[in-house]
Structure 1
Amino acid sequence: MGGRPVSGARLKAAREAAGLSLVAVAARTNFSKSLLGQLETGARRVRREHVVAYSRALNVSVETLEAPATDPIRLALEWLVSDSPAVRHTAVGRRVGASLAEELERRVIELRHFDDSIGGRDLYPVVHKELTNAQEVVREASFAEPIGKRLLVAVSELAQLAGWVASDAGQYIEAQRIYLDGLSAAAAAGERPLAGQLLSSLSYQIANIGSPSDAAILARAAVTGARGASPVVRALLLERFAWASARSRDHEETRRALDAVDDAYESHSPGIEEPEWVYWLNRSEIDVMAGRCFVELGEACRAEPLLSRAIESYPPEHAREVALYRTWLADAYARTGNLDAARATIELARIAAEGASSSRLDRRVTEIERTVA
């Protein structure tokens, strides 16, 4: 784009600060209201010409629209980009060793934990750059076979994260491409549980915005193919199968899958090693997914206590996830006829969504607001 990247949320904030509606900005540019709305919600990527058009319409400089350097989150993300292990190691030679693999393994953990509090529209450019750099190392550098396997695993984990944050940013086609690239890397490394994680992540996206029946097929394949998966990994894969089944309105399959999730999770123990990428899956997350499935199946009365109890357990820095879960709680309230509680709950989610930089959350809030209006 040239200059600093500008998020859709930044354009929206500048427009609102200028007191202009989308219609007014559309009238001052060559872009339609619908396109501008997609830019601001992250459904479309912001390009240089969009930033220039906003600067002219709002009568501000392009520099004003660019993310301020004093933003601590932006500074942290820029530090990560400038300190890419793959770039630093390959700059001193094409032969790479264990130190690069170790740094990439640490980096993917750092980025994964950033996702707890940073929305996809802000985090995706950073993760995508890291993934691109790592993929280039695998293609171009030379290394011993054991190092090659570790690099492939790091690439596939980065791909899963990049696909996840791309989907959160509303870039669904890009997310699918990245998930499939990661699946190939995991298969080449012989990591079947990780391949299952990538396939089930894609299933989750398709269940939300595509064909739930197709999603269920992918999710079932992930469960079946992830031979040797640890208990918590198996619980995660089964959760996504339960969700795809619920979205398909398959009551029986959903209940069986949710029971299997509980069984798998309860079988975990300190003596069984789990991959770091399932660090976030706990009892509250499992209850949230069960509650969401019950809402989809029309059993809102069963969903409400599960969702309420789980939401109360989350720390404040997980604002995006709590807001997402509140949309399901609002949906449950609405389906049981408690519209006052539904409206109050979705209002809390809407307030959180304003600073979350998550198209997934924006879309969900809009959807529920329409049902309780």
Structure 2
Amino acid sequence: MEDHGRLPPSPPSGDLGNQLRAAREAAGHSLATMAALTHFSKPYLGHVETGHRYPTPDVVDRYEQVLGVPIGIPHDPVRTAHEWLCGNQPPAGQTPRNGRRLGTAQLRRLEARVIELRHRDDVVGSRELLPVVRGELDAVCRLADEAVYTDRLGVRLHTVIAELAQLVGWIASDAGHYRHAEQAYLTGAAAADTAGDRVLGGQLLSSLAYQITNVGKREDGLLIAKTAVVGAADATPVARALLLERLAWAAARCHDPDTCRRTLDAVDDAYDQRSPGISEPEWVYWLNRAEIDVMAARCRIQLGQPTHAEPLLIHALAGYNPDHVREVGLYQTWLAEGYARTGNHDAARHILDHIDTSAVDAGSIRLQRRIDAVTRLTATGSH
């Protein structure tokens, strides 16, 4: 039996779709006019504004550009995470459509494309890659809205949406577009819920928690990180280690050493349980022992134990792929901060002076923020 594909859960009252419609109507534009101005189809925008489709960051961007007004984030992320954990998402609706049938070969190409883009993020700057990945996410969301596909293919299609949304969120956050990153993470969490993939949903919420921990209300980040770990109880060992890493970092940022230490131990335990016989999701391809050591070092610096961080960072950097310029630069800033916090400001400045800033030139606000923060630390002589 054919299924027209589940739509992502409808957002709660006061949702972003309502805000988009209100902004359009306040500007005196009809839906048809808005479709012409934004180059989206009128039926698609109708579904977005009525909550049958979750607004992608690209849709929000174009509304803001056309209308000249900011349009806010629809959700309280803590509440969203809680509803996800409790499984209280509203039932998904279905909209009859007469679009083209989605075939297995086309879906395989989409899945391969996600992997390709994910690995490109290792070496391509945010400024170049973000519009590409956002365009891909928007196109796949439209495909989910318009195509005809079986239940089985629908699960895989919404998994693609969730994974693309996670990548959009990650790159947008690196580029300093935090609101758009949050929108992307919520889009992905809804799609993962539609696909019935709790672990992928945990990955989306954990990624959101990581952003909030770094640039938002830390206590909210910690709560969402905990929620992601609890809700993704069936995660494979490496995937679980990743979710726990972000929880450890959130605990460190909240100055909770006991939770941080226990969680870092749990990261090691989870990672040690990996096995060739256990199939891990592709999105954890990058997590290895060196990355785990880097996070442990960062947590120790955050908790005021910089001397324990230096050997971990030096060892990790020695074996790191030099083509991954952004990550190398970020980890060098942590080594520099470790030196600064032990009073070795000359060593810290030496590290800072030798960071390759080409990733900053390519759009990494995250790396620029780190360089600026550690530079200020060395300039003031603070411990």
TM-score by length of 2: 0.72
Shift of 1:354: 4.4
- Report what 1:275 is aligned to: 281
State the number of aligned residues.
284
Q: Distance in 2 between matches of 1:297 and 1:350?
A: 27
Alignment match, 2:319: 313
- Matching residue's letter, 1:154: V
Paired residue for 1:290? 296
Q: Comparing both chains, which one has the higher relative contact order based on Cα–Cα distances under 8 Å and sequence gaps of 6 or more?
A: 2
Distance 2:171 2:356 in 1: 20
C-alpha distance in structure 1 between counterparts of 2:117 and 2:222, whole Å: 29
Q: 2:136 corresponds to which residue?
A: 130
Provide the rounded CA distance (Å) in 2 between the counterparts of 1:350 and 1:213: 33
Task: Calculate the aligned-residue CA RMSD, in Å.
Answer: 1.5
Kindly provide the CA deviation profile for residues 252-275 of structure 1, in whole angstroms up to 9, marking residues without a partner as x. 000000000000001101111101
| Equivalent-residue separation in structure 1 for 2:316 and 2:361 (angstroms) | 22
Q: Which runs of 4+ in 1 moved over 6 A?
A: none
In the TM superposition, residue 121 of structure 1 has moved relative to its aligned partner by 2.0
Query: Who is 2:229 aligned against?
Result: 223
Match of 1:155 in 2: 161
| Structure 1 match to 2:374 | 368
CA–CA distance in structure 1, aligned partners of residues 128 and 368 of structure 2 = 14
Aligned amino acid, residue 349 of structure 2? R
Whether the 8 Å CA contact 1:323–1:352 is kept in 2: the answer is: no
2:249 and 2:233 mapped to 1: Cα distance?
21
**Cα deviation per residue 1:112-165 (whole Å; 9 max; x = unaligned)?**
000101122221100000000000001111111111111000000000001000
Provide the residue aligned with 2:175 in structure 1: 169
> 2:215 is matched with which residue?
209
Matches within 5 A, 1:225-244: 225-244=231-250
Of Structure 1 and Structure 2, the greater helix share is in 1
Amino acid in the other structure paired with 2:297:
G
Instruction: Write the letter of the residue equivalent to 2:218.
Output: P
CA contact 1:288–1:307 (8 Å) conserved in 2: yes
> What code does the residue aligned with 1:230 have?
T
Residue in 2 aligned with 1:340? 346
Amino acid at match of 1:116: D
Q: How far does residue 357 in structure 1 lie from its aligned partner after superposition? A: 2.4
* Secondary structure class of the residue paired with 1:237: helix
- Contact (CA 8 Å) 2:260, 2:299: kept in 1 or not? yes
Instruction: Establish whether residue 180 from structure 1 lines up as the match of residue 186 from structure 2.
Output: yes
Q: 1:211 deviation in Å?
A: 1.2
CA deviation profile, 1:305-351 (whole Å, cap 9, x unmatched): 11111011111101110100111110000000111110011122264
Counterpart residue type for residue 133 of structure 1: A
Q: Secondary structure of 2:354's partner?
A: helix
How far apart, CA to CA, are the structure 2 residues paired with 1:146 and 1:353? 40
Q: 1:301 aligns with which of 279, 284, 307?
A: 307
Partner SS, residue 249 of structure 1: coil
Query: What is the deviation of 1:228?
Result: 1.2
Partner of 2:329 in structure 1?
A: 323
- 2:37 is aligned to none
Give SS of 1:349's match.
coil
* Structure 2 residues not aligned, in runs of 5+: 1-60, 66-98
Match of 1:219, SS state, is helix
Indicate conservation of the 8 Å contact 1:230/1:274, yes or no: yes
CA distance in 2, matches of 1:208, 1:119: 20
How far apart are the structure 1 equivalents of 2:343 and 2:233? 44
Contact 1:291 1:304 survives alignment (8 Å): yes
Of residues 226-235 and 93-102 in structure 1, the stretch that sits farther from structure 2 once superposed is 93-102
Q: Counterparts of 1:239 and 1:186 in 2: how far apart (Å)? A: 21
Q: Deviations over 1:80-118 (max 9, x none)?
A: xxxxxxxxxxxxx62111112101100000000001011
Question: Which residue identity is paired with 2:317?
Answer: I
